[in-house]
Amino acid sequence: MNIFNKEILLQKLIDNLDLPDSAYEKAIDRYQDIGEWIGRPESSCSDFEPHIFPQGSFRLGTAIKPLNENEMYDLDLACNFRFGIQPLTHSQEELKNLVGIELEAYRIARNIKSDLEEKHRCWRLEYADHIHFHMDIVPCVPANVARKGMLFESLRQYGTDQNLAGNISEKAVCITDDRHPAYEEKGADWQISNPEGYALWFSSRVKLGLTTRSLFEASQVDEVPLYKEKAPLQRAIQLLKRHRDKMFAKNPESKPISIIISTIAAQSYSGEQTIEEALRKTLMGLKQFADSGLEVVPNPVNPGENFADRWNMPECADLQLKRNFVLWVSSALRDFNFILNDNQDITVLLETIEDRFSIHINQKEVSQFSGTNDQLIASNIITPKRIDNVVAKPWRH
């Protein structure tokens, strides 16, 4: 197959694993509904300026369908109390219980059948209508000025641009976690997290692929939510995640976690304009990391945090997480190189895709692929479009 055909084939794969807009819209409706409930005048949380926002793959635009259509989507949210609550005034336990009371009232009011479930850091709501969701809500409060300042300095030492470091550090929050030794105490240093800062950093990597034309167009319209951009980096990560999910379908607890894949891929990306180029570049970065023997994947928005910390935890030894990461990278390289080979028999190719990704593509569809390389590059340019008559969304705050 020629370069254009390979690109269209990759896009066809993504079409089969990408979430439909309706799923994103349903997710947005649900977390906005929760936000309105927690912030309503009768709420015990309303005086504390609660702000609900998405995090994780939904926020980054890298979410994919589950392998099994009966599995639930995971939607990660944070509930940030921007006024009146700090570690000096409340314990983590008190804040978490405050949120839990309101979420239980919400569950009853919305007739959600499944019980509210408490996790270490969050509360889980489980929706069971035509789009199945786990919705995990992490309570948090803004980090204080001192901790934001320390984070800014660590980001600058890490090599982060000054403006970006400033914007990232301002988004830092302190989260609840019942494993924290001072979970029940006021005045303790809570664990720092920064999902909004990570989204800013990730967006800065995605935008390396913007061309001069699309940069001009982007300056003329409102910013588009990251999940709508669908740039080559996001597409490459979606493909990598699906390959991983299939490889570890029978042992999901041992699979490489998405945040490690997304971070290494984003750090490796340098503005490639096609999905194939982005995929090759991110695979190269993953291989270099796997070959290095390193066991630390620094959080790019909090360099003191290691995303791979579980690799060496005694309680995770049986999962063989580092070994599985290395094995997966090797398998991904082999399988994607096979798919991108110019001289592949189409029947064998489609059989391999079905085996490695659980995606069926009709041979007739492949034979219809056509176009030019210029059209290919143009099709992957991020071109934000104006969205009319839409109220302000949380990502705009």
Per-residue pLDDT tens over the stretch 326-354: 999 999 999 999 999 876 788 888 899 99
Highest CATH level, class, for 1-18+195-397:
mainly alpha
Residue 152 has which token pair? 């800014």
Average pLDDT for the chain: 88
Q: What is the pLDDT of residue 26?
A: 87
What are the start and end residues of each CATH 3.30.460.10 domain in the chain?
Answer: 19-193
Token couple for 97: 């219980």
**DSSP, residue by residue, 315-363:** GGGGG-HHHHHHHHHHHHHHHHHHHT-TT--HHHHHHHHHHHH-----H
pLDDT at 214: 52
Q: Buried b / exposed e across 281-292, counting CB within 10 Å, b at 16+?
A: bbbebbbebbee
pLDDT band at 220 (very low <50, low <70, confident <90, very high): very low
Nearest Cα neighbor of 75 from 107, 27, 32 is: 27
Per-residue pLDDT tens digits for 39-54: 999 999 999 999 999 9
Q: Where in the chain is the domain with CATH 1.10.1410?
A: 1-18+195-397
pLDDT of residue 4: 46
Record the pTM: 0.88
Flag whether pLDDT at 386 surpasses 50: no
Distance of alpha carbon 397 from alpha carbon 173, whole angstroms: 15
Question: Is pLDDT at 371 greater than 80 in this prediction?
Answer: no
- Per-residue pLDDT reduced to its tens digit, 4-25: 488 989 999 999 999 888 888 8
pLDDT at 367: 67
- Domain 19-193, CATH homologous superfamily name and number: Beta Polymerase, domain 2 (3.30.460.10)
Place 312 in a pLDDT band, splitting at 50, 70 and 90.
very high
Round to whole Å and give the CA distance between 41 and 38. Answer: 9
Residue 223: predicted pLDDT: 52
Neighbours of 11 (CB within 10 A): 20
For 187-214, what is each residue's pLDDT tens digit? Answer: 889 999 999 999 999 999 999 987 544 5
DSSP state letters, 203-235: HHHHGGG--HHHHHHHHHSPPPPGGGT--HHHH
Q: How confident is the model at residue 128 (pLDDT cuts 50, 70, 90)?
A: confident
